């Protein structure tokens, strides 16, 4: 191996190892469903709950499931940025704290994101195949979310 290649590999390894020292705190709140949780605010059928838990909660709730590789940087860094942005936009565990108007617009957003296949994020479904919604699941979620949206009177 050329000297320069060796040096680059060596520096790369050091940088990689140093990055591992950065282990930020986890998104792990109370495991209980609080009164402001989406599933307590609305009577959510089991099939819808399952979809939300499997496909959305890792980024849109106060509890993320951390697989082993989440401890490796820069994977964790990438995950954290999605969780942070995702929760800011929509947090199912704090849904009850949203105003009626905001709830309605979030429900509309959920329908739009699912219809356009934008959620769950493709970088997520690449690894989490189980998070991909079937056509039937998409239909069920869209139908149910629209029904709840229409039931909210402003």
Interface residue list for ligand HEC (CB under 6 A): 55-56, 58-60, 82, 85-86, 89-90, 109-110, 113-114, 119-121, 124
The residue assigned the tokens 């959620």 is 119
Rounded least distance, CB 95 to ligand HEC, Å = 12
Using CA atoms, how far apart are residues 104 and 44, in angstroms rounded to an integer?
A: 16
Rounded least distance, CB 58 to ligand HEC, Å = 5
Rounded least distance, CB 14 to ligand HEC, Å = 30
Between 73 and 137, name the residue whose CB sits nearer to ligand HEC.
137
Question: Would the CA dihedral through 71, 75, 77, 83 be positive or negative?
Answer: negative
Using CA atoms, how far apart are residues 143 and 82, in angstroms rounded to an integer?
A: 27
Rounded least distance, CB 138 to ligand HEC, Å = 9
The residue assigned the tokens 């229409």 is 150
Between 7 and 139, name the residue whose CB sits nearer to ligand HEC.
139
Using CA atoms, how far apart are residues 62 and 93, in angstroms rounded to an integer?
A: 6
Between 5 and 134, name the residue whose CB sits nearer to ligand HEC.
134
Between 86 and 93, name the residue whose CB sits nearer to ligand HEC.
86
| Interacting residues of 49 by C-beta distance below 8 A, sequence separation 6+ | 39
């Amino acid at each position: 191996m050329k000297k320069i290649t060796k040096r680059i590999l060596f520096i790369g390894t050091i940088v990689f190892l140093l990055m591992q020292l950065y282990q930020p705190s986890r998104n792990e709140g109370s495991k209980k469903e609080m009164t402001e949780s989406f599933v307590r605010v609305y009577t959510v059928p089991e099939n819808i709950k399952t979809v939300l838990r499997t496909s959305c909660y890792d980024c849109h709730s106060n509890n993320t499931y951390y697989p082993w590789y989440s401890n490796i940087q820069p994977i964790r860094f990438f995950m954290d940025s999605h969780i942070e942005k995702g929760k800011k936009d929509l947090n199912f565990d704090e849904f009850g704290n949203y105003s009626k108007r905001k709830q309605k617009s979030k429900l509309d957003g959920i329908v739009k994101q699912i219809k356009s296949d934008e959620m769950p994020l493709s970088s997520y479904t690449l690894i989490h195949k189980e998070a991909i919604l079937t056509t039937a699941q998409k239909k069920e979620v869209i139908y149910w979310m629209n029904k709840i949206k229409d039931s909210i009177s402003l």
